Structure 1
Amino acid sequence: MRRTSYGSQHAFQNTTQESYGYEGSYEGGYEGGYEDGYNRRRNREYQRSDLDALAEIEPYTTLVDYLTSRNPPILGPMESANLRRRNAKSPDYAFIWWDVRNTRHWNTFNLQTILATPDLDRLLRMPIPQAELPEPFVDDDVLQQGDRIAFLTIVRDYFCTKVTAALSQSIGTRSHQSLSMVLGSELGSSADIAGVYQSPSRPNGQIRVAGFVKSCREWNTMMQAGGDEKRREFLQVLSQLQRYMREHNTRYGYVLTEQELVCVRLATDAENRPIFGCLDIANAIQWNQHGSNRLTICLALWFLHFLAKRDPLPDWAGWEIPVPSAEDCSRRYCMAKDPWVPDPKYDEVELARVKRGWGEADEPYAYAAHTSI
């Protein structure tokens, strides 16, 4: 079986962590020590002459180069026969397409805003030994297989490997916290991919980022501009994502296909109260997008997970969002539907009332046996 490496497109010369004080202390010092790798590294400037001298010690790379290299090429979409659809007649009726009622443009999720976060550009350009950032290998047979299992294998072997390695370098070891990106099946999770936080107080891990894998035939951003049936399919996947994010009280999630990554944020009011059915949706990031001056899939996934660390970044909301219990009818805190959202069919609403106890978001429960957030 032939294996192909999809490494960085540039040649790097790098240095050791010790040379840059990775495990040492900042001369200015902080009371109580460093809280994580981001704050530990933010105060060091790296001059070109330093890099040239230290490059002779050990080859180095940077997070920005590591996370913006070209993704492995996928020859075509997943076969529709292998899609895992959920619709109005599914016995698992925890969510349905009209649960998402409003979409807003998450226009601050872009490369310029990310790099404007205090000292984050320095973190991304800090030299790191190449050995600390492994380049994943993806089998050619997997790339050409074209089904859901193969795609999840690519996600695990390529994206999970890269994002987890970059998070490890970003947060470091002294903070006694870690973030990783893993397949949901490894956790028994209903999400396809999960961002997991671990710390001494959370030894079993806590899911803080939710991701779902879909075929581009099953879901893509162009569906929002299509007819009513396409819009229903578009909203169905977002409703699935919203359900999972609310269950885990997490603000951030995403949908990944063979064509694009779309990052999503639960919308809240001024008091950080979640608005049911309202999602902030970032611009789609194309699969073939690469280069250090572009927001790539790996870089976006790394940053989305980085937002889920213990201490929120300046000017960015933390990962946790307090979702009231189902008994509090938190989904009744919603806004009027956007004009482009289709009306549900009568039989769909009736089935929803039977299966979960309510149809539309502003309705009371039909009976207490079935609840849903």
Structure 2
Amino acid sequence: MANQVSLMDYLQHGPIPLPVIDQGQSPRNERNDSYSSDDITSVGHWAEFNLTSIQQQYGAVLAAACIADEVFPPSPPRPVNSKSAVRSRINAYLTNRVVRALRCGFAHITSTNQLAGLSVLNYDTGTLAATIDNFVPDLGFFDPSPPVETRPNRAPGDIKPSFKWSLELRNHPTAGIRSEFRQALSQVNWYMNQHHARYGFIITDRELVAIRRLDSNGNLELSASIPWDANGTAAQPQLTVLLGLWYLGMLAAND
């Protein structure tokens, strides 16, 4: 039988770094007539998306809820060279773990009568939430109770290879690269506006960055970068990608 650990322990695992095959890939992000880099008015810092805030809000749940542990396999990581490869690695390393962690957290919250004002959410591919005007986010958090076509995506996410986007490009000296940085944000901002979602995210083979939409005018706040391979323990916790995604789900669950 798998070792039972606290939910915090479970979310402290981090996958090993992924090698990137450099084939001179284009750094150009997706284009659409509905959104562009010019839509992003300001990009601030979401300072509250941090380990301290998570522990203050959900420390008791993370310590008390128990789940069967699931360490990452020691096998060599498979390299990536495209968005489809990054998507495959996210599914292999993260998806089922986030799903199980959310179920565990919501089950504990329900059992302790703390669910008031929250909806129990699932995490999965964006096709399992509503599709609006044929725009489909890569990932998302949603209430599975309504029919698929009416479920808002409460925190739409987009997958990017690290050679197309990273948080450190925000202040790049080249204007064209800064424009590409905002182009990717404009895509997620479009999804958030469509679904009336306050939260979103971009995940790459290197990092997770959470996004908070402040209004409908392109004013966003971004979390600090959460490294793909960050890991810790319940005794010495770190803000890992798994914990960050779980926390986004909890924030999006607030009705």
TM-score normalised by the chain length of structure 1:
0.58
> Would you say the 8 A contact 2:126–2:153 is kept in 1?
no
**Aligned twin of 1:284:** 225
Unaligned 5+ residue runs, structure 2?
Answer: none
Matches within 5 A, 1:45-60: 59-60=3-4
Distance in 2 between residues matched to 1:260 and 1:244, nearest whole Å: 20
* 8 A contact 2:192–2:198 mirrored in 1: yes
Gaps of 5+ in 1: 1-56, 268-273, 313-317, 319-373
**1:190 maps to which residue?**
136
What does the per-residue CA deviation read over 1:45-81, in whole Å, with 9 as the maximum and x for residues that have no partner? xxxxxxxxxxxx9841111111111214311267564
Distance change (3 Å), C-alpha of 1:111 and 1:213 = same
Q: Tell me how far apart the structure 2 counterparts of residues 230 and 58 of structure 1 sit (CA, whole Å).
A: 46
What's the TM-score once normalised by structure 2's chain length? 0.82
Structure with bigger RCO (C-alpha 8 Å, 6+ apart): 2
Secondary structure of 1:121's aligned partner: helix
Look up the match of 2:94: 159
Q: Deviations over 1:98-131 (max 9, x none)?
A: 10011111111100122112xx21110125241x
Aligned to 2:152: 206
Decide whether the 8 Å contact of 1:143 with 1:150 is kept in 2: no
3-state SS of paired residue (2:14): coil
Superposed, which structure 2 residues align to 1:63-212 within 5 Å?
63-76=7-20, 81=25, 85-87=29-31, 92-117=32-57, 120-130=58-68, 143-172=78-107, 178-185=120-127, 190-199=136-145, 202-204=146-148, 205-212=151-158
| Aligned match of 2:202 | 255
1-structure distance, mates of 2:154, 2:123: 10
Residues 197 and 281 from structure 1, CA distance in 2 versus in 1: closer, same or farther, beyond 3 angstroms?
A: same
Do the aligned residues in 1 keep the contact of 2:227 with 2:241 (CA within 8 Å)? yes
- Say which SS state the counterpart of residue 218 (structure 2) adopts: strand
CA RMSD in angstroms, aligned pairs only: 2.8
Whole-Å separation in 2 of the counterparts to 1:136 and 1:259: 17
Asked if the contact 2:29–2:180 (Cα under 8 Å) also holds between the matched residues in 1, the reply is no
Kept after mapping to 1: 8 A contact 2:10/2:70: no
| AA partner of residue 290 (structure 1) | N
Provide closer, same or farther for how the CA distance between residues 103 and 129 of structure 1 changes in structure 2, counting only shifts above 3 A. closer
The question of 1:295 aligning with 2:239 is answered: yes
- Give yes or no for the alignment of 1:219 onto 2:165: yes
Give the number of the structure whose alpha-carbon radius of gyration is greater.
1
User: Quick check: 1:180–1:197 contact (8 Å CA) kept in 2?
Assistant: yes
In structure 1, C-alpha distance between the alignment counterparts of 2:67 and 2:246, rounded to whole Å: 18
Residues of 2 paired with 1:138 and 1:85: CA distance? Answer: 33
- TM-fit CA distance, 1:193: 0.9
The superposition leaves residues 141-166 of structure 1 with CA deviations (integer Å, 9 ceiling, x where unpaired) of x7235332221112123221111101
Report percent identity of matched pairs: 25
Report the residue type matching 2:231 in the other structure. H
Paired residues, number: 238
The CA distance in 1 between the partners of 2:40 and 2:21, in whole Å, is: 26
Indicate how the Cα distance of structure 1 residues 282 and 177 shifts in structure 2: closer, same or farther if over 3 A, else same: closer
Q: Output the CA distance in 1 between the equivalents of 2:8 and 2:91.
A: 21
Q: 1:237 to 1:80 in 2, by over 3 A?
A: farther
- Residue identity in the other structure for 1:265: R
Distance (whole Å) between structure 1 residues aligned to residue 252 and residue 39 of structure 2: 25
